[in-house]
Chains A and B, each alone.
Chain A
Amino acid sequence: MGLVSLLLVAALAATVGAQSARDYIYIVGSSTVYPFATVVAERFGKATPFKTPKVESTGSGGGFKLFCAGVGVKPPDITNASRRIKDSEFEKCRANGVTEVVEVKIGYDGIVLANSKKAPAMKLTRKDIFLALAREVPDPKGGQKLIPNPYKTWRDVNSSLRDVKIEVLGPPPTSGTRDAFVELAMERGAESFEWLKALQHKDKKAFKRIAHQLREDGAYIEAGENDNLIVQKLLANPDALGVFGFSYLDQNTDKIKGASVDGVEPTFESIASGSYPLSRPLFFYVKKAHVGLIPGIPEYIREFTSERAWGPEGYLADKGLISMPDKERKRYRDQARGLKPMTSP
């Protein structure tokens, strides 16, 4: 019987050897872009003679790690990202022979703070968010001193808010949503203090340490990567707020509502115009060396950048993607279809 399994292993090895070429596009990257990339991939697979691309959700950082591993059949052709490629990642790509990378911006995603419909709407500012959630906050008595966060209720933070316990369910540090939330809400909130803003110019690292560290005393609850779960927990606990991507608010408008940030409600229009402060751009990156090696890459880019996909009335908008203004869309479409590689991150 051992012999049988040996033969089997040999047979399997032979089939692997035969699989030297890949005939489908391999996409990795951000879990925020995943719902959009998969829709495009599915339509692309159905409408064209090419195979449906394989889309793996690895997170933005994990995506770049795989993407920059080299050129060939094994590494992915495209990586999705909910942030721009970092210098270090770009360098790593170059070092591994991935010299020509095409950057495609696809639109925006809003990060919302939402609560149950049963509770009144929240009107927050980024300063409120920072004060409510940072592990250490400036001493309310004044002076340039940090103290462990003393605030228990939203009213402690800002007297115009409701007198309920601060309880925020949000993503863990591995999530791209968390990165963006910390950057867009916490950092900007911290900057509302003059001396912290000065510190940012002097010592960037120290500033980041203050702005990026969230409370660990139970006011901020890491609820895992599953945003549906956060929505369900909000229904059970009307006093809690949840942090997640706009598409989850869009799908659950009958159950939850978004808090306004700095006086702007999270809507399609406000995120697209950039007036809603917690919005971030989404990207995908294409390995130019794989065009011609793997079939269908230019056609996939074409589908993604077509008006019926990423336009304001396209099918990606139905899935919650917030499209770019017309001009920007045209610029990125031309750049992507012309496969113009980026020169620096």
Chain B
Amino acid sequence: MIGSSMERDDPLSPQEGSRRSLPMVQKRLRVRYRAERRFRLYGAAAVGISLLFLAFLFVSIVSKGFSAFWQAEILLDIYFDPEILTQGHLSEVNYPALIKRSLSKRFPDVRTRRDRRALYALVSSGAAFELQRLVERDLDLIGKTLPVWLPADDDVDMLLKGRVDRSLPEQERRLTDRQLAWVDALIQEGRLRMRFNSRFFTSGDSREPELAGILGAAAGSGLTLVVTLLLSFPIGIAAAVYLEEFAPKTRWVDLIEVNINNLAAVPSIVFGILGLAVFLNFFSLPRSAPLVGGLVLTLMTLPTIIIASRASLKAVPPSIREAALSMGASRMQTVAHHVLPLALPGMLTGAILGMARALGETAPLLMVGMVAFIVEIPKRFTDPATVLPVQIFLWADSPERAFVERTSAAILVLLAFLLVMNAAAVYLRRRFQRRW
């Protein structure tokens, strides 16, 4: 281009013109290459920054939360005193007394009431219930002396995890100097150990950090997602199949399509308010139940599933349909025997991604009362329950220091679930997707 324009205005020969314009072209080329390199650099920097944030998030959560998978335990020689255990009804027995006696026996020089309280505080308040469970399971224990590993209090746990600064003045620590001395003595004797925190995976919520677990919340999440999946998957696919394969192209159908696309972008809290008005106030369904949570999340994930399902139906080439029809199949048969099986992997992927989003959702569930302190593990769809993200929210607000690590650990568990679901979606796509 440059050469030809020069030819016209310039009396010089073409060769000479190109010789003179060559440095200019090269200069411009250099500028263009530089711009290109810069552009690539911006892109790489953007990716780098987002990776940095991700790394920061992971490092912070893992470093905070990893220690929650361990828990301090104290070994105590418990004498299952028949005198204490046979007083009154089995459920009214003074189990804490067993622990207190054992501790007093180990540290006989602790006399004053104040010091004793400080000593007893080293063992978790849940330890007595643990003994109760032991005795109720095996009544033969009564009268025997048995070494039992019992959960330590969260303050001791934090100390062993190095989260209590011993160099601070006494009144600024949660543990007094005497308590530190007792803990050190127990460590010396090998009566204090760190163990894998299986309670974290097998128990419900608790106000004592050392007893709190995520099974209740995980079960709540599971029940809620079952409701969501059972409702949203069939309804979503039915709606998508109708809209894509059978619906006439009228203005009404267009309107419905636009609305479905809009619904997918509605903030989730709106569905929560809708659920509160419709399911709780109008239909009088129970508050805090996975059933209602699942219904609300169904409303939220339906548009996502419909859109994904329609996209995968669209991806099935028309030649398949035409071939089936030309062989004399009805439209119903065409869809059920040929189009749907081919579109199903894509639909499943969409559904799994929708479920993953539902699993991480908090806001709409707050509106239907799924934010509550619930110790028992939900078993039915109408039992009161919370879900994993709400559990994280509740723990993050608890004053006890040890809940900081539990919060991060719960986030790790939630992330693990999400990772598994996303991996399943990727696997399904790889395994069953067909290219035409």
Where the two chains meet, the residues of A that have a C-beta atom closer than 8 Å to any C-beta of B are 1-2, 4-5, 8-9, 12, 15-16, 19, 24, 34-35, 37-39, 41-43, 45-49, 51-52, 54-57, 74, 117, 225-228, 247-248, 250-254, 313, 315, 318-320
Contacts and interface: CB of A to CB of B under 8 A. Distances in A.
Contacts of B164: 254
Interface stretch (B20-28, B375-383, B412-420): B375-383
A16 B285 contact: yes
A39 B207 CA distance: 6
Interface stretch (B180-188, B194-202, B244-252, B391-399): B391-399
Contacts of A34: 373
Contact of B291 (A16, A55, A117): A16
Interface residues of B, number: 47
B91 A253 contact: no
Contacts of A9: 231
Contacts of A12: 227, 291, 381
A45 B375 contact: yes
Nearest to B294: A12
B369 A15 contact: no
Nearest to B234: A1
B173 interface: yes
Contacts of B374: 52, 54
A49 B90 CA distance: 11
A286 B189 CA distance: 50
B372 A54 contact: yes
B323 to A, nearest CB: 25
A320 B117 contact: no
B401 interface: yes
B168 interface: yes
B360 interface: no
B396 to A, nearest CB: 7
Contacts of B376: 24, 45, 51-52
Given A227-B399, A253-B174, A55 B91 contact: no
A24 B286 CA distance: 13
Nearest to B89: A49
B296 to A, nearest CB: 14
Contacts of A43: 125
A54 B172 contact: no
Nearest to B394: A57
Given A56-B288, A57-B373, A319-B399, 18 more contacts: A5-B230, A5-B231, A5-B234, A38-B207, A38-B373, A52-B374, A52-B375, A54-B374, A56-B369, A56-B371, A228-B396, A250-B399, A251-B174, A251-B400, A252-B401, A253-B172, A254-B174, A318-B121
Given A8-B231, A38-B207, A320 B168 contact: no
A169 to B, nearest CB: 16
Contacts of A35: 207, 398-399
A238 B253 CA distance: 61
B171 interface: yes
A168 to B, nearest CB: 20
Contact of B168 (A24, A54, A254, A313): A254
A1 B237 contact: yes
B238 A42 contact: no
Contacts of A248: 399
19 contacts: A1-B235, A5-B234, A16-B382, A24-B384, A34-B373, A46-B126, A47-B91, A48-B91, A52-B375, A54-B373, A56-B287, A57-B371, A57-B372, A57-B373, A74-B286, A251-B399, A253-B172, A313-B117, A319-B207
Contact of A55 (B125, B174, B372, B404): B372
Contacts of A227: 397, 399
A254 B372 contact: no
Contacts of A38: 207, 373
Given A39-B207, A54-B374, A74 B397 contact: no
B216 to A, nearest CB: 10
A109 B371 CA distance: 23
Shortest 5 CB-CB distances between A and B: which pairs?
Answer: A1-B234, A55-B373, A52-B375, A56-B372, A38-B373
A23 B140 CA distance: 33
Contacts of A226: 396-397
B238 A1 contact: yes
Interface of B: 91, 117, 121, 125-126, 129, 164-165, 168, 171-174, 206-208, 227, 230-231, 234-235, 237-238, 284-288, 291, 369, 371-376, 380-382, 384, 396-401, 404
A227 B403 CA distance: 13
A333 B87 CA distance: 26
Nearest to A253: B172
Nearest to A224: B397
A46 B124 CA distance: 14
Nearest to A313: B117
Nearest to B93: A47
Nearest to A48: B91
Contact of B286 (A2, A16, A37, A247): A16
Contact of A46 (B129, B165, B384): B129
B40 to A, nearest CB: 37
A37 B375 CA distance: 13
Contacts of A74: 284, 286-287
Given A2-B238, A251-B400, A54 B231 contact: no
A166 B286 CA distance: 47
Contacts of A19: 286, 382
Nearest to B402: A251
A41 B237 contact: no
A227 B399 CA distance: 8
A54 B234 contact: no
Nearest to A52: B375
A215 B82 CA distance: 65
A19 B383 CA distance: 9
Nearest to A4: B234
A16 B35 CA distance: 66
Contact of A15 (B117, B126, B235, B380): B380
Contacts of B207: 35, 38-39, 42, 319
A35 B373 CA distance: 9
Given A1-B234, A35-B207, A225 B401 contact: no
A130 to B, nearest CB: 28
A53 B172 CA distance: 35
Contacts of B237: 1
A12 B237 CA distance: 21
Nearest to A46: B129
Q: In the complex, which of the residues B121, B373, B381, B401 has the most CB atoms of chain A within 10 Å of its own CB atom?
A: B373
